[in-house]
Amino acid sequence: MRYRQAPYSPASELAAMLDALRGEMAQGTARDGTRHELTLVLNGDVFDFDAPRVIDHKSVFHDLPRSAEHALPAMQAMLTDHPVFVEALGRVVADGHTVVFISGNHDVQLTLPEVRTLVRAAVVDAALAALGAGRADNGEAPRPGPAREALEGRVVFRAWFHKTPDGIVIEHGNQYDAYCSYRYPMIPFGRNPGEIQPTMGSLACRLLASRMGYFNPHVDSSFMLSAFGYLAHWARYYMFSRRSLVVAWALGALRTLVELVRRREPERRARRRACLAAAAQETGTSLRAVARHARLFARPAEDRLGLVARELWLDRALFGLLALAVTLVWVLLVPGWLAPAALMAPAALVVYERLVPKLPLDATWKRVSRAARQVARAHRARAVVFGHTHTPEGTWEGGLFFGNTGSWSAAFEDVACTRPVFAARPLVWLRSEAGAGSAARLSGGLVTWKGGRFEPRATSVPPPAGQRAEPQGAPCPSLRSPATAALRT
292 touches 244 (CB < 8 A) = no
Q: How confident is the model at residue 89 (pLDDT cuts 50, 70, 90)?
A: very high
pLDDT-based confidence at 135, cuts 50/70/90?
Answer: low
Q: What is the mean pLDDT of residues 119-146?
A: 78
Q: What is the pLDDT of residue 426?
A: 93
Distances (CA, A) of 130 to 29, 88, 94, 124, 204: 20, 9, 7, 10, 40
Helix axes 200-207 and 245-262, enclosed angle (nearest 10): 150
What does the pLDDT average to over 146-168?
93
- Other C-beta atoms within 10 Å of 298: how many? 19
**Three-state secondary structure call for residue 231:** helix
pLDDT digits (tens, 9 = 90+) for 254-264: 999 999 998 88
Q: Examine the pLDDT at 479 and tell me if it is beyond 60.
A: no
pLDDT value of residue 435: 56
Per-residue 3-state assignment (H helix, E strand, C coil) for 121-164:
HHHHHHHHHHHHHHHHHCCCCCCCCCCHHHHHCCEEEECCEEEC
CA distance 378 to 203: 31
Q: Give me the phi and psi of 389, to 5 degrees please.
A: -85, -5
| Whether the predicted pLDDT of 455 surpasses 50 | yes
Q: What angle do CA 221, 222, 228 make, to 5 degrees?
A: 85
- Per-residue pLDDT at 462: 47
Give the SS3 label for residue 176.
helix
Question: Stretch 224-245: mean pLDDT, rounded?
Answer: 83
User: Can you point out the beta strands (E) in 289-441?
Assistant: 383-386, 392-397, 400-405, 425-432
Confidence bin at 35 (pLDDT 50/70/90):
confident
Edge-to-edge strand order for the sheet containing 392-397? 161-163, 168-171, 383-386, 400-405, 392-397
For residue 439, pLDDT beyond 70: no
**Among 26-35, 230-239, 446-455, 475-484, which stretch is predicted with the lowest mean pLDDT?**
475-484
Q: Is the pLDDT of residue 201 over 60?
A: yes
* HSE (side-chain half, CA atoms, 13 Å) at 277: 6
Question: Residue 139's pLDDT is what?
Answer: 59
Residues 57-78: tens digit of each pLDDT: 788 888 889 999 999 999 999 9
Cβ–Cβ contacts within 10 Å for residue 28, how many? Answer: 22
- CA 426 from chain center: how many Å? 14
Position 463 pLDDT exceeds 70:
no
| Residue 472: per-residue pLDDT | 36
Amino acid at residue number 171 = E
Q: What pLDDT, on a 0 to 100 scale, did the predictor assign at position 257?
A: 93
Q: What's the rounded Cα separation, in Å, for the pair 73 and 68? A: 9
The region of weakest confidence among 163-167, 192-196, 279-283, 349-353 is 349-353
Q: How far is CA 110 from the centre of its chain?
A: 13
Q: Over the chain, what is the mean pLDDT?
A: 85
| Residue 472 CB burial class (10 angstroms; 0-12, 13-18, ≥19) | middle
Return d(Cα 375, Cα 366) in angstroms, integer. 14
Read off the pLDDT band of 467 (50, 70, 90): very low
What is the CB neighbour count within 10 angstroms for residue 380? 10
Please report which confidence band the pLDDT of residue 400 belongs to, taking 50, 70 and 90 as the band edges: very high
Structure confidence at residue 413 as a pLDDT band (50, 70, 90): confident
Q: Cβ(97)–Cβ(42) under 8 Å?
A: no
What are the residue ranges spanned by the domains of the chain?
Answer: 1-172+382-489
At residue 221, φ and ψ (nearest 5 deg) are -70, -15
Q: Report which residue type is found at 74.
A: A
CB atoms within 10 A of CB 110: 22
Q: What average pLDDT does range 191-212 have in this prediction? A: 88
pLDDT tens figures, 326-377: 888 877 777 777 777 777 877 877 777 777 777 676 777 788 888 999 999 9
Could you give phi then psi for residue 392, rounded to 5 degrees?
-70, 135
CA distances from 45 to 267, 395, 423 (A): 26, 23, 20
What are the b/e assignments for 230-256, b being 16+ CB within 10 Å?
A: eeebbeebbeeeeeebeebbeebbebb
- pLDDT of 200 reads 93
pTM of the model: 0.87
Average pLDDT value for residue range 78-95: 95
- Pick the residue with more confidence: 391 or 460? 391
d(CA 15, CA 8): 14
Q: Is the pLDDT of residue 87 over 90?
A: yes
Q: Is residue 188 pLDDT above 90, yes or no? A: yes
What burial class does residue 106 get, using C-beta atoms within 10 Å of its C-beta: 0-12 exposed, 13-18 middle, 19+ buried? Answer: buried
Is the distance from CB of 330 to CB of 279 less than 8 angstroms?
no
The torsion angles phi and psi of 299, rounded to 5 degrees, stand at -65, 135
pLDDT band at 134 (very low <50, low <70, confident <90, very high): low
Segment 95-120 shows an average pLDDT of 96
**pLDDT at residue 269 tops 70:** yes
- pLDDT recorded at residue 475: 29
